[in-house]
Structure 1
Amino acid sequence: MADNESSEKKRKKLSRRKFLVRGGFGTLGVLAVGTYLFRNPIRRTILKKVNSMDIEYLGSTDNPMLWFELGKDNVVILHSPKVEMGQGTFTGIAQMAADELDVPFENVKVVHATTDTGNIDQFSTGGSTSISGLWQPLRELAATFREMMKIEAANKLGVSISQLSVKDGVVSANGESLTYVEISEGVTDWTIPKKPILKDISSYRFVGKPLPRVDLADKVYGAPMFGLDAEMPNMLYGAVVRPSKIGAKFISATTDKAEKMPGVVKVVSEDDFVGVVAESYMEAENAKQAIEVVWETPDNLQQDEIVAMMTVGNGTSSIIQKQGAALEGDDKVQMEFRSPIGAHAQIEPNGVVAYVEASKATIMISTQVVGITRKEVSSRLGWDVEEVNVIPTYLGGGFGRRLHTPHAVQAAVMSKAVGKPVKYIFSREEEFQHDMFRPPTHHILKGSLNEKGLLSGLEHHFVSGDVGNNSALLPNVVPTILGADVGAIRGAFIQYTGVPNHRSVYWHVDLPFATSWWRSLGLLANTFAIESFVDEMALKAGKDAIEFRLAHVNDDEAGKRLKEVMRTAGEKAGYSEEVKNGRAMGFAASVDAGTPCAHVVEVSVEDNNIRVHKVTVVLDPGLAVNPDQIRAQCEGCVIMGMSAVLFEQMKVVDGSLTPTIYGPYEMALMKHAPREIDVVLLQGKDTPGAVGEPPLGPIGAAIANAVRRLTGKRLQSMPLKLT
């Protein structure tokens, strides 16, 4: 019993011990102050760090009991602060937890953590950080939970901790065994070890394996799990009047007719919106159409005005990367590139069910920002945040769209007005017209070659609207201090740092409509421009596209990983500069959040349309927790990227954003999918890295580079069209 006594002296009560606290953006805040004081040199250093950083988990890890719950049959229920929006997060974290908990993988059930549990992520689900950000803290929590079980088992079995063994959630000693559930019976005051001891990764049974998704059966059998499925007893339906014109401001509304329509329970008039609560969805929608609203609208904007506005030289500029001298003289090559306004177009429109009772509000919603949604609702109601419980659902696609949840506030206000639960769903037209769009961009690239046919200078000037700035995640002060929008600059840094003179200059323009996070942020547009231009310079130099790039990448740690994905992509795809049988190959590469990726695509032109036949993706995500899920993410990025690059665009016509339905808003269809997507995973580091967005970077430029070799035409605007 001596070991027990010694252990007892070292133990601390769970309520008094903060066993793991992480800084995350806290460090960024300190650095930002220095950035403000010392301006551009330090700004560039910080922006470079932010551009490549893998954001750590920002929630509390004080209490393992907020994360883990024991259920019947020795099942461990993991309350995840990250939401599942199709990326496979629940499966990956179940694997990580199962290995450290020492329980069978099938005995870990993952559910969304409601805010009432106290397990809240202060950041969001996004940035490709769910697995990588939870890698260390979740394993430490699971190891702590396991050791807590051993401490109590030692007490119940009357043995020292060193005599115990653990296997599949059963703790044994001297021929006696207790399951985790049995150990927990009657324990009300848990203790934890001073420091969790993590297992050696080589002993893991589940991490690194292509295990099936934990949500597979529910999705196959159509279990109600998404935001649109959410229901509450005695539920009513809401609808909100929204303007069709950009910049319209609400002045007044006449609601007499709507109030008398069938099924209408109440018309809710607020200073900033007018909503209808009715007994059915259609009755709410019909009554909404009967409300006469007076809007103050600006002059009708047109698409050409947006294009003129979004041109390098307009707005405010900031040098985000600089090495050597600026390009001068007439021998430089200069090209321009553009990307359009993009919609999220996720399959599930935004929806919420809110129930505001006397002293408690319950919000069921598909959101990427559980904590922020809670704060926004509590602020509008004038309540403490503890009086609002947000229950996250599965997301039918997120991509950054569900970082903005003002509809939760509107539903709560309507529920409070009628004293019953209110379900509010965006129509497809509302979802398109009132999206938080991917901003259009304009790029000017300049470059020069030396006598050896290598780049002596490379410059990237680009303009974008808000991405992170003015979003739910980042207050306006952050971009003001840093001098650049941390979302818009993703992918804008020149990765060819072996070029002696290189720089990247960001221009910010305020757009008249809302723009924000879109999967991969600025990565898709910036990589399209930079990698298309570098490819053109390779052609000008008469060099192989991959060898030309390799010659300009430094041999630091990041550079070696980038070179390896480049070389591997060329080898696996059998990259060739030749046009064979009416097909050509294109190559492009990028680094996002520290994860390098390279694509080789094979294209043809059929009836003047670009046809992608094969895509080879080489990604170095570090340690692959679930290789199949990573491959699925790569495949999804390829298809989503192709859709954005070849088809998708919103336009401004007579002051309105259009189109507002699928069909006119063109997207890639099944018939456009490549016959083959070959994904190759490398491991250039021993911890997981970002996965969900990096594979989106190279696809646009790779397609454009293939078309250039096939047709001789350099396509410089997305969506890529030959006419």
Structure 2
Amino acid sequence: MSKTNKKGKKVSRRKFLVRGGLGTLGVLAVGTYLFRNPIRRNILAYANSMDMAYMGSGMEPMIWFEVTSDNQIILHSPKVEMGQGTFTGLAQMAADELDVSMNQIQIVHAQTDTGNIDTFSTGGSTSVAGLWQPLRELAATMREMIKVEGAKKLGVSVNEISSENAQLTAAGNSITYADAVKDVTEWEVPNTPPLRDLKEYKFIGKPIARIDLEAKVFGDPIFGLDAEMPDMLYGAVVRPDKIGATFVSSDTSAAESMPGVVQIIQEEDFVGVVARSYSEAENAKQAIKVDWSVERDWSSEEIQAILQVGEGNASLIQKEGSDIDDSSEVIEMEFSSPIGAHAQIEPNGVLAYVNGDKATIHISTQVVNLTRKEVAKRLGFDEVQVNIVPTYLGGGFGRRLHTPHAVQAAVMSRIVGKPVKYCFSRKEEFQHDMFRPPTHHVLKANLDESGMIKAIRHDFSSGDVAIDSPLLPGFVHSILGADVGAIRGGFCQYSAIPNIRTVSWHVELPFATSWWRSLGLLANTFAWESFMDELAVKSGKDPVSFRLAHIQDDEAGTRLKAVIQAAAVKANYTDEIVDGRAMGFAASTDAGTPCAQVAEVSLKNGKIKVHKVTCAMDPGVAVNPDQVKAQCEGSIIMGISASLFEKMEIRNSELSPTIYGPYQMALMKHAPKEIDVVLLQGIDKPGPVGEPPLGPIGAAIANAVYRLTGERLTAMPLQA
């Protein structure tokens, strides 16, 4: 087998990614201290609308691609596959520039030992969009590198060679890619060739079947919980039931003599058990008596009381024209959303082996590089001594952006000298999640004589999303003044309104909240689009034309208008109630991707039933249209679940429920019978698709219920 990850003497001749995003952030961060609020608002607006550029560290083709002896191409992906179909999209992009067929390309997760490391994360709907340019450039360059070697073996000029299906042809002679690169130890890296036009691609833009489907259907051991090593032991960590609890002391005597226990481990920040089986580790954990200190008992009502607009720190993040005119009629509404869990199917788990001065970590993680840094720091290793082996994720949604369990497993492994596998119980997942923060919103508006919006204001309060997250340095919040995750969807997208104010209020909560799929988008759009619907009613206009009238004809506005019109036409939108069903309309723009939805809803015995959702979205280039539509369908169903059912409660400082069932989620019977997705292409590159469709669904459902009952639902989960 000939591997193409051996470095040649000209490897660094061409850089394949201009890291403009990082440079810009650095310049703006300095500028913020000089000019404060105006630049803050500009940065926050940019952060709210941008699709993040790829920020990987390895940009040489040889560490991305491997040519096997049977003429297959293996792509080592720095982005992880967590069910969103990223691997299939990346394979399409690479295959088109490499001139190989889809069955000649495989994708595996890049271990950090390969050097192909994503310095950011897999999240924010950035995988395909962020790799669109660099991956095609890398693949095109690798193709030309293979041609150079093939030309040498065929004894022809590179210009004479054509490539197709992993084969080179010139002057009637052919050679496979595998034979062309055999025994190559030093590569010639040419300048990146021009990329092909979109219409020349065979696979991009086509509904290619998912390349990871067979492994998942047949239950291959591809997930973090499947990881195994010889002589593996099992770990468990004692965790408190109450929020805000701090460790005082522990009595491990009863656990030490229990069957299967290898060692009880007491560190400054955790108490763990290592045993010969999972059940023995869990049983011993239960026998450890821990004294916890809890300052006070919290309840949901107390959390709601402190999470109010007007409490905490305010940041003006959007300012156009003047503020609300209190001397004229003010229309005002309040909205709220609860604490939400990630509730992903696969609990967090890790298998760690620290063998001398080398640590190997098999883990389901969205933050490969960050996990490596944290493990290395705790062990006192250089980062190159830690190899992170990413696995497929059984759901991510932001939950796997936090991986302190990797550190704990590594510590336990080093102490016992064997591999240690450790995973959360379902109760631990629910009680120690990094939750979707609760929110509170106050919206106000003035209408003019014609019913148009003269001024509008959105104040919203939220717990942390990006603040106190391992993903962002602590100084970012002090620079920007607002949480860049909580503000997603909080801006007013109706650019023709002359006077706009948007204010973000930050409140510190006594429990951990953080990244949840779409960040602040779902809650913020629920408030914005419910309020827009109310204003449309007050003005006597239908909700579609009312929205269109408040959007400018710039690029962003034109794309937003297009999805609004497409959704309305496709759904045959009407304000009328037909056969006991009503339609609700909502739209949002997230990370530059506009999306509009129509929900067709009825009420039965006081319960909300969603029959059909029509979704129009402009993701730019849909690398795999079926995959993009599947993302829309998944986001919509997840949004229905969050909007109608999901809610965590706090009683006596304990978070509950702690198991599926009591934690209500949408079931098969709650899914719409039909989800109709229309894709538009307003730009010639892919945009984010995994999170934007979550934005409108809550408001669309609530607006449909209003047409059925005349009641405006203002709190999630929605109850008629």
Short-chain TM bin: over 0.9
Aligned residues: 712
Q: 1:449 to 1:166 in 2, by over 3 A?
A: same
TM-score by length of 1: 0.98
Answer whether contact 2:14 2:192 (CA < 8 A) is retained.
Answer: no
Q: Determine the structure 2 residue equivalent to 1:567.
A: 565
Aligned with residue 503 of structure 1, among 501, 504, 524: 501
Aligned with residue 276 of structure 2, among 271, 279, 284: 279
- Which residue identity does 1:525 align to in structure 2? A
- Distance of 1:644 and 1:473 partners within structure 2: 25
Q: Determine the structure 1 residue equivalent to 2:576.
A: 578
Answer whether contact 1:60 1:120 (CA < 8 A) is retained.
Answer: yes
Residue-by-residue CA offset, 1:260-296 (whole Å, 9 max, x unaligned): 1000000000000000000011100010011111111
Aligned with residue 705 of structure 1, among 698, 703, 706: 703
Aligned with residue 216 of structure 2, among 207, 216, 219: 219
Residue-by-residue CA offset, 1:429-450 (whole Å, 9 max, x unaligned): 0000000000000000001111
Answer whether contact 1:61 1:137 (CA < 8 A) is retained.
Answer: no
- Distance of 1:69 and 1:694 partners within structure 2: 34
- Distance of 2:447 and 2:9 partners within structure 1: 65
- Which residue identity does 1:296 align to in structure 2? S
Answer whether contact 1:538 1:545 (CA < 8 A) is retained.
Answer: yes
SS at match of 2:20: coil
SS at match of 2:356: coil
Matched ranges for 1:525-540 at <5 A = 525-540=523-538
Which deviates the most, 545-554 or 651-660?
A: 651-660
Residue-by-residue CA offset, 1:69-99 (whole Å, 9 max, x unaligned): 0113210000000000000000000000000
Answer whether contact 1:36 1:482 (CA < 8 A) is retained.
Answer: no
Identity, % of aligned positions: 67
Which deviates the most, 64-73 or 485-494?
A: 64-73
Q: Determine the structure 2 residue equivalent to 1:171.
A: 168
- Is the aligned partner of 1:678 residue 2:676? yes
Residue-by-residue CA offset, 1:544-591 (whole Å, 9 max, x unaligned): 100000000111000000000000100000000011111100000000
Q: Determine the structure 1 residue equivalent to 2:385.
A: 387
Q: Determine the structure 1 residue equivalent to 2:104.
A: 107
Answer whether contact 1:356 1:416 (CA < 8 A) is retained.
Answer: yes
- Which residue identity does 1:403 align to in structure 2? L
Residue-by-residue CA offset, 1:498-544 (whole Å, 9 max, x unaligned): 11111100000001000000000000000000100010010111111
Q: Determine the structure 1 residue equivalent to 2:715.
A: 717
Answer whether contact 1:463 1:508 (CA < 8 A) is retained.
Answer: yes
- Distance of 1:534 and 1:25 partners within structure 2: 36
Q: Determine the structure 2 residue equivalent to 1:206.
A: 203
- Is the aligned partner of 1:158 residue 2:155? yes
SS at match of 1:84: coil
- Which residue identity does 2:589 align to in structure 1? V
Matched ranges for 1:489-638 at <5 A = 489-638=487-636
Aligned with residue 482 of structure 2, among 481, 484, 489: 484
Which deviates the most, 20-29 or 572-581?
A: 20-29
- Distance of 1:231 and 1:25 partners within structure 2: 38
Answer whether contact 1:309 1:509 (CA < 8 A) is retained.
Answer: yes
Aligned with residue 77 of structure 1, among 74, 80, 91: 74
- Is the aligned partner of 1:372 residue 2:358? no
Aligned with residue 34 of structure 2, among 27, 33, 37: 37
* Unpaired runs of at least 5, structure 2: 1-7
- Distance of 2:474 and 2:530 partners within structure 1: 32
Q: Determine the structure 2 residue equivalent to 1:459.
A: 457
What is the CA-CA distance between 1:199 and the residue it aligns to? 1.8
- Which residue identity does 2:338 align to in structure 1? P
Answer whether contact 2:205 2:625 (CA < 8 A) is retained.
Answer: yes
What is the CA-CA distance between 1:23 and the residue it aligns to? 3.4
Matched ranges for 1:388-407 at <5 A = 388-407=386-405
Q: Determine the structure 2 residue equivalent to 1:126.
A: 123
- Is the aligned partner of 1:424 residue 2:422? yes
Answer whether contact 2:140 2:192 (CA < 8 A) is retained.
Answer: no
- Distance of 1:349 and 1:45 partners within structure 2: 39
Matched ranges for 1:430-469 at <5 A = 430-469=428-467
SS at match of 1:73: coil
What is the CA-CA distance between 1:202 and the residue it aligns to? 1.2
Matched ranges for 1:87-106 at <5 A = 87-106=84-103
What is the CA-CA distance between 1:476 and the residue it aligns to? 1.7
Q: Determine the structure 2 residue equivalent to 1:5.
A: none
- Distance of 1:292 and 1:706 partners within structure 2: 52
Q: Determine the structure 1 residue equivalent to 2:693.
A: 695
- Distance of 2:213 and 2:255 partners within structure 1: 44
SS at match of 1:588: strand
Answer whether contact 1:449 1:457 (CA < 8 A) is retained.
Answer: yes
- Distance of 2:295 and 2:719 partners within structure 1: 33
Matched ranges for 1:325-336 at <5 A = 325-327=322-324, 328-336=326-334
SS at match of 2:70: helix
SS at match of 1:537: helix
What is the CA-CA distance between 1:226 and the residue it aligns to? 0.6
Answer whether contact 2:9 2:186 (CA < 8 A) is retained.
Answer: no
Q: Determine the structure 1 residue equivalent to 2:63.
A: 66
- Distance of 1:75 and 1:310 partners within structure 2: 55
SS at match of 1:192: coil
What is the CA-CA distance between 1:178 and the residue it aligns to? 1.1
What is the CA-CA distance between 1:329 and the residue it aligns to? 2.1
What is the CA-CA distance between 1:19 and the residue it aligns to? 4.4
Answer whether contact 2:87 2:211 (CA < 8 A) is retained.
Answer: yes
Answer whether contact 1:61 1:141 (CA < 8 A) is retained.
Answer: no
- Distance of 2:122 and 2:683 partners within structure 1: 23
Residue-by-residue CA offset, 1:693-720 (whole Å, 9 max, x unaligned): 0000000000000000110000000000
What is the CA-CA distance between 1:12 and the residue it aligns to? 7.3
* Unpaired runs of at least 5, structure 1: 1-10
Q: Determine the structure 2 residue equivalent to 1:356.
A: 354
Q: Determine the structure 2 residue equivalent to 1:303.
A: 300
- Distance of 1:440 and 1:465 partners within structure 2: 6
TM-score by length of 2: 0.98
- Distance of 2:581 and 2:37 partners within structure 1: 46
- Is the aligned partner of 1:116 residue 2:99? no
What is the CA-CA distance between 1:16 and the residue it aligns to? 5.0
- Which residue identity does 1:278 align to in structure 2? A
What is the CA-CA distance between 1:17 and the residue it aligns to? 4.5
Q: Determine the structure 1 residue equivalent to 2:316.
A: 319
Answer whether contact 1:21 1:62 (CA < 8 A) is retained.
Answer: no
What is the CA-CA distance between 1:479 and the residue it aligns to? 1.4
- Which residue identity does 2:335 align to in structure 1? F
- Which residue identity does 2:121 align to in structure 1? S
What is the CA-CA distance between 1:472 and the residue it aligns to? 1.5
What is the CA-CA distance between 1:233 and the residue it aligns to? 0.8
What is the CA-CA distance between 1:330 and the residue it aligns to? 4.8
Aligned with residue 144 of structure 2, among 129, 142, 147: 147
Residue-by-residue CA offset, 1:190-211 (whole Å, 9 max, x unaligned): 0111233212221110000000
What is the CA-CA distance between 1:651 and the residue it aligns to? 1.2
Answer whether contact 2:706 2:712 (CA < 8 A) is retained.
Answer: yes
- Distance of 1:543 and 1:198 partners within structure 2: 48
What is the CA-CA distance between 1:30 and the residue it aligns to? 1.9
- Distance of 1:128 and 1:513 partners within structure 2: 26
- Distance of 2:208 and 2:96 partners within structure 1: 13
SS at match of 1:499: coil
- Distance of 1:652 and 1:416 partners within structure 2: 37
Q: 1:605 to 1:276 in 2, by over 3 A?
A: same
Answer whether contact 2:465 2:519 (CA < 8 A) is retained.
Answer: yes
- Which residue identity does 1:412 align to in structure 2? A
